[in-house]
Chain A
Amino acid sequence: MSDEPQDRRVDRRSFLARMGALGAAAALGTPFAASGSGHFDRTGLRGSSPEGAREFWQGVRRTLPASVDSPAELTASEAAVLIREGTLDPVELVEACLDRIGRWDDRYLAFNTVLAEEARASARALNSEGDDAGLLRGIPLAVKDNYYTEGVLTTANSHIFRDFRPEWDAEAVRRLRSAGGIVIGKTQMGPLATTRALTPDGKITTVNAWTPANPSVSPGGSSSGSATAVAARMASSSIGTQTGGSITVPALAQGLTGLKPTMGRVSLRGVIPLTYSRDHPGPIARDARDAALLLQVMAGPDPADPRTLGLPPVPDYLTAATPRGDQEDEPIRWPTRLGVLPGWADGDDPAASGRRAFLREMEAAGVRMVEVTPSEQWDELSSSLMNAVRLPERTEPFLEYLREDVRLFGVSLNSWMQGLFLSADEYLKGQRARHALLASTLDEIFGHCDAVVQTGHVPFDMIGLPLLALPTGHRPTEDGPRPHGILLGAPPFGEERLLSIAAAWQTRTEHHRVRPPVLDELREARLLPPAGASRGRLSAEDVAERSQ
C-alpha cells in the first residue's frame, strides 16, 4: 500500500504535453464497439492490497449499526461485511430490497425494469460460491438505464432505445457482476441523460426520496432513479453517469455520496453516449466507503475503450476511504491542503452553516485550509458559453436517428438540433479552451492545494477531473427536511484524496446516515397524492435549458 495518494505522484508537465496525442487516440473509442475485453480480476481487488482491504473491512465492522429494521437499511459495505461473515444471506438482502421496491416504487418510480427473478437466482448462486465471490458479493445494485445489460431492456428513457436489449453488459456492469454484485434493476433517467427523469415525451417520473409527495422537487438529474433507489433504501448502492452533473447533482439532492471519477478511470464501453469526451461512469452511494467499494471494482483499463489506456494504475480506494482508526483526533489519512474559494462559506442559510461546519471539522481533522482565487479567465473558460461546445458530440452519434424521425427524440430534441449548428472552427475553439482551462486549473488552483471546494460541476465536467458530492446537513422545508451538501474537486486521478476527505468528514458526522421519510408512514398519514396522479411535465424548452 502506498504511503501517499496518486495525485502526489503525477508529472503534470509531461501530461500537458501528451494530451493532444491521447485525445486523437481516444477519439477512436465508441460505445457501440463490440464486446469482449476479459481483463479483470474477478475478486474486484485490482489496486487494493490485502492489508488495505482488511483495514477497510475492520473499519466497517467497527461502525456497524447496533440494529436495523431491515437489511435493506444497511450500506453496501455494511451488508458486505455481514455477508462475508456469514451472518447475512444474500438472498435475504435481495428479498428485502425487492420487498421495498414492490411496496414503494409505484410512488418513487425509480426503476424502469426490476430484475426480481434474476436477482434472486444470482443471490442463490452466490451462496454456493463461498468467499471467492468478490468484493461485492451479494450486494443489490441499481444501474442507470443507459448502461448496456445483457438481454435486459436498456432504454435511456428514449423512444430510440425503447426495444433495445443489448447482447452484452457494459464493461462497468460486467465488472460489478464479476465481483459478486447483483443488478436488481435498471433505473429511470433523464431522456438520453439530459435532465431529471422523464418519459421521452416529458412527463415527470422519478420523485426525490425526501419529498415523495411533491414531484416538483427535483430528484436531481439525469441519474435520478439511481439516486432515489439508494436514498429510499431499495438498493444498497447504484451507478450513474455524469456529463454535466448527473452523478453529483442527484447525490446532493438526496443526501448521498456521489463520485465522478477522472475521465478514463472507468470504461465507457457499453454506455449509451451523450458526450464522448465528458461522459463519466461512477457510483452514487450511501457514503464514501460504498463509493470506494464500487469504484475499486469499476476502475481500470479496458482494451476496448482507449480512453482508459495508458493511465496510472488503479490505486487502493478502500484504504483511501478508511480513516486512520488509531488517531481519532486526526482521522485524515494523508496531509491535505483544501482550497477554499473566497466567500464560499458565507451566508445565513443552513447550507452555508453546513459549509462552515465542514471547514471546522476538516481543520480539526488535520486538513489545512488554503484560500484559492481562480482568475477571471478561469471563469470565462468554464462559462456556459464554453459548456455549449459539448453539443456536437451528442449530435454526431445520433445522426441516423435524426434522419429517420426527429420525433424519436421526444422532448430532448432541441439540444440535439443545436449541435448541428456549431461549425468545426468553433468546436475546435472549445477544445482549445478546455486545454487552457485545465492548465489554468492546475496552476491557479492545484498549484496551491490538493483538493478544492466547488460551487458547480461544469468546470470539472468540462476537463474530466474528479468531483465528489457529500451531504453536510438538512434544512427544513414545507415538504419536510431536505439534504444539502458540498462539492469537492481534485486534480487528475485525485479520487483517493476526495475519498479520504469524505471519509474523515463522515467519521465525524452523521448526516450521511439520516434517511428520507419512510413511505409507509406518509401513506398512513395520507400525505401522498394518489398513485398515478399527474406529476407535471417539462417542455422541450425546459429540457434544453436544464440539459446536462
Chain B
Amino acid sequence: MRKSLLVALAAATALGCLPAIAEDLITSDRVGPSDAPKKMVFRMTGDGPSSTDPTWAAGYTKLYTDFINNHPGWQLELQMMTGDISQEQARMLEQAKAGHAPDCAAVDSFVLPLFKQAGVLKSLSPYFTKEEIDQLFPFVRDGITGKDGEIYAWWWSTDLRVLYRNKEIVPNAPETWADTKAAALQSVEAGMEGMLFNGSRYEGTAFDWLGNFWGQGGKLVDDAGKPVFADADNRDKFVKAVDYYRDLVESGAAPRRVATIGSYDDLNAAAAASTTALFVGGNWQYRQLENSMDPEEFAKWTFSMLPGITADQRSTGTGGWTVAAFSSDPEKVEMCATLAREIYMGPANALQEQLPTRADLYDKYDVFKSEANQTFAKALKVGQARPGVLIYPEISNQIQIMMGKVLTGAAATDAAVDDAYKAALDAYARL
C-alpha cells in the first residue's frame, strides 16, 4: 500500500512537472533552458512565438521548440521590436556602432544598405552554400551582398503591394488608374467610403505608392545614388503618379482621411467593417483578412496587381525582412545563420505564407501552389525593391510630407514635388 502510494505520488509529481518543463523552454523573452551555457540575443519582429496571430504564434512556438531541441546547450534571448520599425532600426544601428547591438537581429531590407555601409554586420557567406545563394531572386541577392562579394544578411521573405477589392461591389479587376477611379466611385455610390491607401507620415505611404511611378519607368536615384525622381526625365512621371492619388481624393473616389492612414491594420479594419470595397495593401493581408472575417465575407474579397497609367505600365514595391548577425563571437554568428536557415528560410515562409525569396521554395511548399500565392508570385515579376542607397529614407520622408500636402489640398502638386526634390537633393549633399 505504502509502495503504491509512493509510486502514485512520484507519477503525479512527474506529470505535474512535465508542463512546467515544457513551459520553461519557451517564455516571452527566452527560448531554451535558462541555465544553458551558451546564449544568443535575437532581436525580432512579431515573426516569432509572440506573434499576435494565435495560429502563427503556435506555429512559431513549435518551430522554435524544435530548433532549440536540435541545438542543446543554447539559449535564445528574445528582444521584441515595437511597431515603429524605422525608429527601431535606427536605434539598432546606433547601438551597433557603439558595440551594443544584439548578437543577431531582424533587419528590414530597405535599411540593410545603411547597416552594410556602417560596417557593423558579420559575413554570413561561410554558412550558406553557393547553390542556396544562387537560388535567391537577383534583387534579393544584390541587396544582401556587400562590395566585397560576401553576403551580410539572409533575406528570407519578400512582399508586394496589390489592390484588394470586394468582388460583390467591384467585380472586375481595375487595370488602369482610370478604371480604378471609376470602380472607387462605383463603390462610393454603393455606400462605401471609396478607395483606401496609406497616406500619412509612414513608410508604407511612399512604398505603396511608388509602384505608380515605377510602372511608368520612373527612377528614384541614378547609378551613383543621387536623387533624380524629379529631374527632366522623371518629373512628369512623378507628377502624374501624385496627381493620380490627388484626383482620387478630389473626385471623392477616396476619402480625405487617407491622409491620416498610416497602418495596414486600418485597412483591414475598414474591410472587416465593410466600409470599403477597394484598398491598396500588402500580400500578407490576404491571410489576415481570412483570419479576421467570416468565411462567407472573406469569399467576397480578392486582389489583383496594382493598376498602372495604362494596363501594360504596372509595377509594385517589394520589401521583406532579413536576419543579420552583429556578434563578434563566430559561434554566435554561425548560430544566427543557422536560425535563419532552420526557422526562417522556408518553414516561416510556409507558416505565414510570406513569399519566399528563393524560386525553389515555391515548389517545395504546397501553400505556395495556391491560386492566391501563384498570383502573388506572378506579380513579383514586375516588382521593384526600394533602391539600396543611403538617401532612400530621406526620399521616402519627403514623399510622405509631399503626399500629406497634396492629399489635403495644402499645396499644388508641382510645388509639393519641387519642394520634396529640393529637400532630397539638399539631404544628399549633406551625406
Do A and B interact? Answer: no
